Each structure stands twice: as C-alpha cells, then as structure tokens.
Amino acid sequence: MNVIRYLKSSFKCDLVCLGGALATAVVQIVHVAMYAAIGEPRSLLIISFLGAVFALFALFVWRARLPALWAGAAAACVVLHMCSNIASSLADLTYAVQGAVAVLCCFGGLILQIRERACPRLAPATLVALLSAAALGLSVWLGSVAAANGAAGRAQPALWAVPDAYDAVACPEPGRVEELTYETKAYATDGRALTKRALVYLPYGYTEAERYDILYLLHGTGDGETYWLAENPQNKTLLDNLIYHGDVSPLIVVTPTWYEGDDYTWDASVCDPLIESFNEEFRSDLLPAVEGKYSTYAADLTAEGIAASRAHRAFAGLSRGAAATYRSALCGSLDYVGWFGAFSGCGTDAAYWQAHAASAALGEYPIYYLYNTSGTFDFALRGHVRDFNDILAAEPRLVLGKNCSFDVFPMRYHSMGSWHLALYHFLQKIFR
C-alpha cells in the first residue's frame, strides 16, 4: 500500500511539474514571438536565450521532481519584470505570467508532497522557509516604505518613498500649469520650421514683480511634454507642497519635449541625434520663449545676460532625457545652466565629456551640482554608474560628495516611481 501511495503521489507531483514545464514553454514561445514581431534582432536574441533557460530549467525541475526549485524561477521573474524597459507592455506581462506559474508550481508541488507523504523530509521545512522568507522580505519592504511615507517634519532624504506630507496631501496653495507654444526648427534632421509646446509650472502667487529660479525638465523615450506634470500629476503636488512647506523656494518648472514633429520612435539612430541637438533648440528658441515671457533672473536675453543668470537655472531629465541633460545641457549649454539632474541615464562617456564639457569654450564654468539617481532594478543602472565614474575621473570640477552625488533607490526600476523620488531629492539640492 505504501508503494502504491508513493507511486500515485509521485505521479501527481509529476503532473504539477510537467504542467509547469508545458506552461513555461508556451509563455516563452509567446514572448519570443512578440519580440520577433518587433524586429529588433539584439532584443530577440536576448529574449530567446532567456526563454531557452526558462524552458530547460522547467524540464530539469520536472525530471528531478523538486518543485521547490520553482522558487528560483519566481524570483528571476520578479527581477526581470522590474528591470523591463517597457513596464506596461504586453511583452513584459509574460514575466508576470511566468512568475505566477512558478509560484503555483512551487507551493502546489510542495503542499502535494507533504500531503501525500511522498517527499523528502526537507519538504515541510522548505515550505516553511520559503513562506517565512517571503513574509520577512515583504514586511521589510512595506515597513520601510511606510516609515518613509510617514516621515514628519521638514523634507529630508528618503530613499524608499516620498513622505505623504509632500506626496499624498493636496496643497492649500497650489501652483498652476500653463501651456506655452514657441517656434523652433528640426535641428537634428532637415531644419524645417516647427511649432512646439511646453508645459510651464508657475508657483502659487506667481507675480512679474519677483524673479524666480527656473528648472527645465525633460521626459524619456516614448513620452512627451505632458509626461511630468499632466500624465503624472503627483509631481505637481510634490512641487506645490515643497514650496508651501518652505523646503524649496518658489520656482518655475518647464517641461518641453525633445521630439521634433512626428518623429515619435524608439529607434536610437533617431532619438540620439535629437537629444544631442536639443541644446540648439534650448538656446535659440525654448529658453528665449520661456524667459522672455516669465520672470526669471535673466536680466535680458542676450548670451551675456543668460550666462550671468546661470546660477538660477537648472536642467534635468529621465532616461534619454537624462542623456540629453548630459549631452545638451552639461556638454552643450554649461554657460547657460549651473545645476543638473540625471535620472536613470547618462549616455556620455569620458571621451565625449572631454571633447565638449571640458572644451575651451565651456571649461571655465563651475558646475554647482550634478545629481544622479537610479533604482536597484533599473536596467540603465550599470551603464549610468560606469559613465559617471569615468566622467568623475576625467573632470576635476566634479567632487563626489561635494557638488555631485549618485543615489540608488531600493526596489525601484525604470519607472516614474524612481523619477518622482529623484525629483523630490533634486529640488532640495538646487539653487542653494
């Protein structure tokens, strides 16, 4: 009877592991097919490799009858999901599905083994250890976020989350957001005339009788000028509350787009020339249009007048907007801007830096602060850190801990959650 029970229960466990293997094969085939449809060979190669690894792993678990190993696949799916560039895409959803399959196979198989008493004696201990680890990790994460959210007093560093006082509470004295249109050119392509727009945040009580610091804030690939303030209104709430509580002085924030007309694409061969040439649009068209209308510290719109007010002008961006910050602001308009923020990106090596920012034309200007951020699960973290370290070694004007820093936010990836937190910190570092 014990032998028959063992064979029956082993067969059931076999079915669980086999089902997981078959589900994994289907999920990975769908995933590969999605990337094949996109037509980008490098991504397809990486996805195909990952799909093969998952399939072979599932086959091994089935043959070994060790469902506890599915916990490793579940953890891998969490990391892959968080590192994904396109967090809302259908392709990324396959990691969530694969993770769900792994979790069901892991705990379903372990419970079945324990119930049927047809497993190694380690199965109950394994189940308890996995559940305890999951509970401990979740409690640490949620506890850290809750502690950051509940922080009271003045704004201060909070690597886990923006405190609720600045993030979740409507400000009694809110600023307003206006739309500004201006004339420019397609500097990166054919030079055609363009009419573009930017959103402009004006603090509560804005008046022409006062002068204001100004921040130009760029989006990343695939988004536009509405991304920071309209599509993600929590950033406006953050601005309102930081100003209201006296943590930052009232300032103007401008969110333009570095796209030119209808060139909305993910193609690096198109996007990179756009972010590199944005300094021409910024200097010749955007800045004069904005600061010719709103009250800033620029005494006039001559090159000399703008350069004289650079201590009151900041430039920041996320992802490819961060690369634009390095290439178009730091390496292209250092004479106009004194404060810089790069969130989840750099795209500038030491050779490019030395050829531009350290050139004779811009080498004399001080860099008041360069703030860099990324998330622990951000796919851009490694390249950002590498380029940042190379630039530090090549640039004597940058001193880590004095006028530049790099924050890595726990459990954050390439998404607005990380960039919102970066903006919270950046606003407290500029114009001091």
On whether both 109 and 13 belong to a single domain, the answer is yes
Residue 8 has pLDDT above 60, yes or no: no
What single-letter amino acid sits at 187?
Y
Q: Is residue 156 part of a domain?
A: no
| Spatial separation of the C-alpha atoms in residues 105 and 28, rounded to whole Å | 16
| Among candidate residues 317, 303, 422, 315, the one with its CA nearest the CA of residue 369 | 315
Q: Is residue 159 part of a domain?
A: no
Number of domains in the chain: 2
Q: Is the pTM of this model over 0.95?
A: no
On whether both 392 and 305 belong to a single domain, the answer is yes
Q: Is residue 132 part of a domain?
A: yes
The pLDDT assigned to 309 comes to: 97
Residue 418: band (very low, low, confident or very high) from pLDDT cuts 50, 70, 90: very high
On whether both 122 and 176 belong to a single domain, the answer is no
| Among candidate residues 323, 325, 344, the one with its CA nearest the CA of residue 414 | 344
Residue 85 has pLDDT above 80, yes or no: no
Q: Which CATH number characterizes residue 223's domain?
A: 3.40.50.1820
Residue 132 has pLDDT above 90, yes or no: no
Residue 136 has pLDDT above 80, yes or no: no
On whether both 186 and 114 belong to a single domain, the answer is no
Six-digit token string for 385: 């850190």
Q: Is residue 210 part of a domain?
A: yes
On whether both 136 and 205 belong to a single domain, the answer is no
Residue 88: band (very low, low, confident or very high) from pLDDT cuts 50, 70, 90: very low
Q: Which of 149, 175, 207 is the last residue of a domain?
A: 149
Q: Which of 115, 149, 183 is the last residue of a domain?
A: 149
Q: Is residue 186 part of a domain?
A: yes
Which residues touch 1 (CB under 8 Å, ≥6 apart)?
Answer: none
Residue range of the domain that includes 191? 164-429
Strand order in the sheet with 176-185: 176-185, 193-202, 251-255, 213-218, 313-318, 339-343, 369-375, 404-409
On whether both 134 and 61 belong to a single domain, the answer is yes
| Among candidate residues 306, 197, 177, 185, the one with its CA nearest the CA of residue 253 | 177
Q: Which of 99, 126, 149 is the last residue of a domain?
A: 149
Q: Is residue 158 part of a domain?
A: no
On whether both 339 and 197 belong to a single domain, the answer is yes
Q: Is residue 319 part of a domain?
A: yes
On whether both 141 and 10 belong to a single domain, the answer is yes
Q: Mean pLDDT over residues 110-115, rounded?
A: 74
On whether both 60 and 88 belong to a single domain, the answer is yes
On whether both 202 and 137 belong to a single domain, the answer is no
Q: Is residue 115 part of a domain?
A: yes
Tell me: the pLDDT tens digits for 248-276?
A: 999 999 999 998 877 766 666 667 888 88
| Spatial separation of the C-alpha atoms in residues 426 and 107, rounded to whole Å | 43
Q: Scan for tokens 């201060």, then name that residue.
A: 156
